[in-house]
Amino acid sequence: MLKRNRAMELYRFAAAVMILCYHCYWFAFRDEGTQFVGFYLFVELFYILSGFLMMASLRRNVTPEQRLDPAGTTISYIRGRLRRLYPHHLLSWVLVAAIQYFLLRDLFPIEIFQIGWPELLLVNIFGFVRGQYINIVCWYLSALLFASLVVYYLLLRDEDGFIKIIAPIVIVVCYGTLFDRKECLAVTIIFAQYSAHMGFMRALADITVGCVAFRAYEWLRDTEVPGEGVLATVLEGAVFLASALWMYGNSGKYDFLFVPLFFAFVISVFRGRSLFTRLFDNPVSDWLGKHSYAFFLNNVVVIYPYMHFFPDSGILRMCAVCIPACLLVSVFTDGLLRRLAR
């Protein structure tokens, strides 16, 4: 059984904050500097963690009888994820559309739906509408769901075959294609490209890495590593803090090196031997982590109004305002959806 460690919740929220800083840079300052230029890489941590937890869920919840019907079990799994995730997506999309219509006044209602219907249906990774978007950050959810559908089905069909044969092929082909076409993992603005499937390939590769990480975690679960407390503390601190310092002003082909680093990071956190995992395993981390998904989807909800009211602001001031504002909005939206679900 996978032990729940609330330290990962804090790391999830911290990664969401880093991604918000990247979106501030992308929407307002990408022509003026390189601050936060590499922070899109924390999306990889989200995807790898999703693959890791998906494998844990499969171990915990899927019976031998359900494995005999991989298609039906996969559909049931995706339906469950949609029930949990879609209301947050829908509410954030409506908020962004309202901001664009009532505040920015740059789109009419008919244009909002002409542009945004693929986002509403979460099929936007297929590039039905190119170069325009409503809440662009929901590309992540679209890619996550379709990649999870593929991986979950293959795991049910033959888990060992997937991990030992298919996973290495998927990882090499997907990362190889991304490197050949982009030389980096920065494919979040997929609607402006003529290769919208790149976002799906990114999610597919990262989720597969997360599944392999879970198998490695299982293999190591009963293994005692001498000095692991110190080694794990150094690893987790170096991966999260040192990588953030590097990403602050850099991006490009070295991005792919962070995939194995996040692979080791996720395993280390769930083993729970480091000083950080013991320190951060607390209710505050748990509370912040619960809002990280809404926080990610609500990035544009706070960025667009800020750019409208403070067009001459610097990026550090923008981040300093948008981070707490996004948390407040996310607490509100999470609370509203919980009330509506009762």
Contact 116, 134 (CB under 8 A): yes
Q: What is the pTM of this model?
A: 0.94
Burial category of 22 from C-beta neighbours within 10 Å (exposed 0-12, middle 13-18, buried 19 and up): buried
Number of domains composing the chain: 1
Whether 313 maps to a domain, the answer reads yes
Asked if 71 and 152 touch (Cβ cutoff 8 Å), the reply is no
Provide the percentage of residues in the chain whose pLDDT is more than 90: 70
Is residue 276 a contact partner of residue 62, using CB atoms and an 8 Å limit?
A: no
Residue 127's pLDDT is: 75
Residue 54 near residue 211 (C-beta atoms within 8 A): yes
Q: Give the pLDDT confidence of 319-329 residue by residue, as tens digits.
A: 999 999 999 99
Within a domain: 232: yes
- Orientation angle between helical segments 299-309 and 7-24, nearest 10 degrees: 40
pLDDT on residue 182: 76
Question: Residues 6 or more apart from 133 whose CB is under 8 A from it?
Answer: 115, 116, 119, 124, 191
Whether 2 is covered by a domain: the verdict is no
Site of tokens 């299982």: 218
Reported as a pLDDT band with limits 50, 70 and 90, residue 192 is very low
Q: What is the CA radius of gyration of the chain?
A: 20
Please, what is the average pLDDT of the chain?
91
Residue 286 CA: distances (Å) to CA of 4, 6, 328:
10, 5, 16
Q: Which two tokens stand for residue 249?
A: 């002003």
25-39, 70-84, 198-212, 293-307: range with lowest mean pLDDT: 25-39
What residue numbers bound the domain in which 152 lies?
7-341
pLDDT for 195 beyond 60: no
Residue 128 token pair = 């039905």
pLDDT at 185: 84
The H or E element spanning position 22 is: helix 7-24
The pLDDT tens digits of the residues spanning 228-238 come to: 999 999 999 99
Dist. CA 57–CA 61, nearest whole Å: 6
Q: Please report the pLDDT score of residue 124 as a whole number.
A: 85
| 150 within a domain of the structure (yes/no) | yes
Domain membership flag for residue 1: no
What pLDDT band is residue 191 in, cutting at 50, 70 and 90? Answer: very low
Q: Which of 3-12, 186-195, 271-280 has the lowest mean pLDDT?
A: 186-195
Rounded average pLDDT over 139-166: 95
Asked if 37 and 249 touch (Cβ cutoff 8 Å), the reply is yes
- The DSSP string of 36-91 is TTTGGGHHHHHHHHHHHHHHHHHHHH--HHHHT-HHHHHHHHHHHHHHHHHHHHHH
